[in-house]
Structure 1
């Protein structure tokens, strides 16, 4: 039974990791497949939008006959109940887990698995999570509309503050002492900011999603900023969160709105990530001078990519920035008969000294009005897991993303809100999008 359960868990982990789903990620320590960490990136158009929600899965030897134990880690040290069914103590209430009563047929079965649990949790993260309150559907009177609005507003605030900002500040070492970087307004939530969530063991931290969160932050930065700015216009700073009828004294989400501070902190995180990328180039040049293994590997990959482009007749030009194998400078020649025709678009692929553990970061030197390129020039692209060590695959994935003519609609690729809205809008919106894209492409040659 033990070998069968390990095989089943390993198979499920592999399937999720190969899946191109941009909202789910799983990892475990080496061969310890019974203890899994998972991340759900909050669904678009909900108060959980693009938040980073982490969970642990502990599988027994009886799996899949018995469901795993699931615990939410993103609770701000037990102070944030992010959903009526996701408690502040980490309990996840789902009928398939046996943690909540359900209708006949909703109980656990061996046909279900890790992905189905993650999708069930993800479904709780709706545009109106108040509906998940026990007894909502059977209530004689509909709940107060104001309560529903207030609940959405405080979840949106804490999604930004706890799941995104606190997490990234910890990753980047921005947060110092208890009051070191806090303004007077932020001190209203000082306890939440000091005790960072998501670290099960401070002595040996296992942070498999650290690089993923950094890269996704760069994708979604403009969306985070827009959400914070909108919240700042709707709710005054220091206004207390409203307590919901279903929230208990130890299972609640208390605090005050501090949207103006969230804007400042988002900007600080963005600046720190840009500085980190620039530091990679400095450290990479030193690694190249010492002929360290990673630099030799990257230089050889560069030479092979140049040879392959020449052999295949690929028109784009690639060079190293001052001979640094950690920074590839690509000049992309716009594809004929498309909105990119005539463009000379330059972008950089910056590699970390810890590549491939830390994945490359791409940035167009002159931002293009494109639904897959953020306002600062960061492209939204995806590389298959088995290609992440191949820099050429990253380069080609960037090109494929900007050239794709009929992409499927996927709101998880929303990295340029204005361009995204026009691209997926009406016929007139699309015409406007095309005009603005062509104009920005022409400007790239100036």
Structure 2
């Protein structure tokens, strides 16, 4: 691969990583820019909603004159075809990739790039993917509409089961029987204990692990709501319908079992909370050993405390829980003359010993009714610089106080609050009343 091609790929990766698109992520090993991993988060209001779909992208020597090869990896080991254009074997059929014969002008050109490929794949994840199959684009007969609904239903189920639940279970060491691997015992250094006579196996390259964990916590309420709604439409152990275009192993067979999905997804949620407790234990050991990360976090904490002592625009208190620099407690006081006026909200910030590779988890300890705060208190926020905690504190406050947020369903982590906030005028009034009640409760 020429230097020009390598620079082109590096530039494209950097541009995607810098942008604010919440649906696409890319990564590669430093020494291998030709082989890229990509993650597409399923679009809202589709059967793929908030699923985690992974692809590999291999750039040829002739890039960008020649299109890269894209392979779907979220296929349940080759047993699940998530879309008429995304095969169980991993093939992605797109004219832009040269894997499907499209209209004139739809073929690959050097003006296109990785982002346009990922956006094209994301566009396949539509509310009605049945119509992506050639010959079924305008299916309107009653039988076709029934098949469309059946197809959407099984994609929704398998999005939850395969792209979300299986992925998070793998990350967290949760087994099919519900058993959970214990978090590794810690050495006094704060590092996980290993056998002295065994060389530790290098971990697999999982660049989206932390992102998926954080997004799972954001979207947990939406996943539960999806299960609640789907349970009314299908019976446990009801077989998936086979589509007329499925066959030859390129199918999506299976049965509906939403009660089991609910159990598994709730267990994942509980284990992610346990992980935060484990971080605190690791952090306490790091503090005793006076490690670099413990010292850095301590210094950042003191600097941020001084910044907000001098800030007359917002009132917050910051303290360390048990003097542990990996567990911060932020107390936010609502600004006068706003809906938050008089409120006092306690917010826990759990910080990983691997920060910033693992980003903090921000949880409201005080009950809050807000479109950016889940029912379990998880805050959806966006720091300008994820590697500095002062930007996290700034972003937390901005998220709480934002009175004119742009509508983006990817940031709405409380379905009930969001429906009211962006509903009718009467709905908005009800939202404000609920928010004021939360403020009043915070003062009790």
Partner Cα separation in structure 2 for residue 266 and residue 212 of structure 1: 17
Summarize deviations over 1:338-363 as a string: whole Å, max 9, x none.
11111111101110111111110000
Q: Secondary structure at the match of 2:64?
A: coil
1:421 maps to 2:419: yes
Residue of structure 2 equivalent to 1:362: 362
Q: Is the 8 A contact 1:349 1:395 kept in 2?
A: no
Counterparts in 2 of 1:228-267, with a 5 A limit? 228-267=227-266
Counterparts in 2 of 1:205-216, with a 5 A limit? 205-216=204-215
Structure 2, unpaired ranges of 5+? 181-200
Residue of structure 1 equivalent to 2:400: 402
Counterparts in 2 of 1:33-432, with a 5 A limit? 33-137=33-137, 144-175=144-175, 179=177, 205-313=204-312, 314-384=314-384, 387-432=385-430
When residues 140 and 308 of structure 1 are mapped into structure 2, their CA distance, relative to the original with a 3 A threshold, is closer
Partner Cα separation in structure 2 for residue 11 and residue 312 of structure 1: 39
Summarize deviations over 1:190-210 as a string: whole Å, max 9, x none.
xxxxxxxxxxxx975210000
* Structure 1 range deviating more: 283-292 or 72-81: 283-292
Residue 395 of structure 1, CA deviation:
1.3
* Structure 1 range deviating more: 85-94 or 56-65: 56-65
Residue 294 of structure 1, CA deviation:
0.8
When residues 31 and 336 of structure 1 are mapped into structure 2, their CA distance, relative to the original with a 3 A threshold, is farther
Residue 144 of structure 1, CA deviation:
1.6
When residues 356 and 140 of structure 1 are mapped into structure 2, their CA distance, relative to the original with a 3 A threshold, is closer
Q: Secondary structure at the match of 2:315?
A: coil
When residues 323 and 68 of structure 1 are mapped into structure 2, their CA distance, relative to the original with a 3 A threshold, is same
* Structure 1 range deviating more: 288-297 or 306-315: 306-315
Residue 249 of structure 1, CA deviation:
2.5
Q: Secondary structure at the match of 1:50?
A: coil
Partner Cα separation in structure 2 for residue 2 and residue 297 of structure 1: 41
* Structure 1 range deviating more: 23-32 or 158-167: 23-32
* Structure 1 range deviating more: 289-298 or 134-143: 134-143
Q: Structure with the greater relative contact order (CA < 8 A, sep ≥ 6): 1 or 2? A: 1
Q: Secondary structure at the match of 2:261?
A: helix
Partner Cα separation in structure 2 for residue 9 and residue 320 of structure 1: 43
Residue 233 of structure 1, CA deviation:
1.9
How many residue pairs get aligned? The number is 423
Q: Is the 8 A contact 1:229 1:260 kept in 2?
A: no
Q: Is the 8 A contact 1:367 1:373 kept in 2?
A: no
Partner Cα separation in structure 1 for residue 219 and residue 378 of structure 2: 10
Give the CA RMSD over aligned residues.
1.6
Summarize deviations over 1:191-237 as a string: whole Å, max 9, x none.
xxxxxxxxxxx975210000000000000001101111222221111
Partner Cα separation in structure 1 for residue 351 and residue 339 of structure 2: 29
Residue 102 of structure 1, CA deviation:
0.3
Residue 441 of structure 1, CA deviation:
1.1
Summarize deviations over 1:135-189 as a string: whole Å, max 9, x none.
223779676211100000000000000000011011110116xx5659xxxxxxx
Summarize deviations over 1:380-431 as a string: whole Å, max 9, x none.
00123xx112111111111101111111110101200000000011111111
Partner Cα separation in structure 1 for residue 363 and residue 139 of structure 2: 52
- The TM-score, its normalising length taken from structure 1, stands at 0.92
When residues 266 and 129 of structure 1 are mapped into structure 2, their CA distance, relative to the original with a 3 A threshold, is same
Q: Is the 8 A contact 2:131 2:139 kept in 1?
A: no
Partner Cα separation in structure 1 for residue 283 and residue 389 of structure 2: 15
When residues 78 and 229 of structure 1 are mapped into structure 2, their CA distance, relative to the original with a 3 A threshold, is same
Q: Is the 8 A contact 2:131 2:138 kept in 1?
A: no
Partner Cα separation in structure 2 for residue 9 and residue 143 of structure 1: 46
When residues 67 and 347 of structure 1 are mapped into structure 2, their CA distance, relative to the original with a 3 A threshold, is same
Q: Secondary structure at the match of 1:134?
A: coil
Partner Cα separation in structure 1 for residue 260 and residue 394 of structure 2: 39
Summarize deviations over 1:24-76 as a string: whole Å, max 9, x none.
10000113111110000000000000000000000012111111000000000
Structure 1, unpaired ranges of 5+? 183-201
Partner Cα separation in structure 2 for residue 367 and residue 4 of structure 1: 54
Q: Is the 8 A contact 1:238 1:258 kept in 2?
A: yes
When residues 277 and 139 of structure 1 are mapped into structure 2, their CA distance, relative to the original with a 3 A threshold, is closer
Q: Is the 8 A contact 1:35 1:58 kept in 2?
A: yes
Residue of structure 2 equivalent to 1:197: none
Partner Cα separation in structure 1 for residue 355 and residue 87 of structure 2: 37
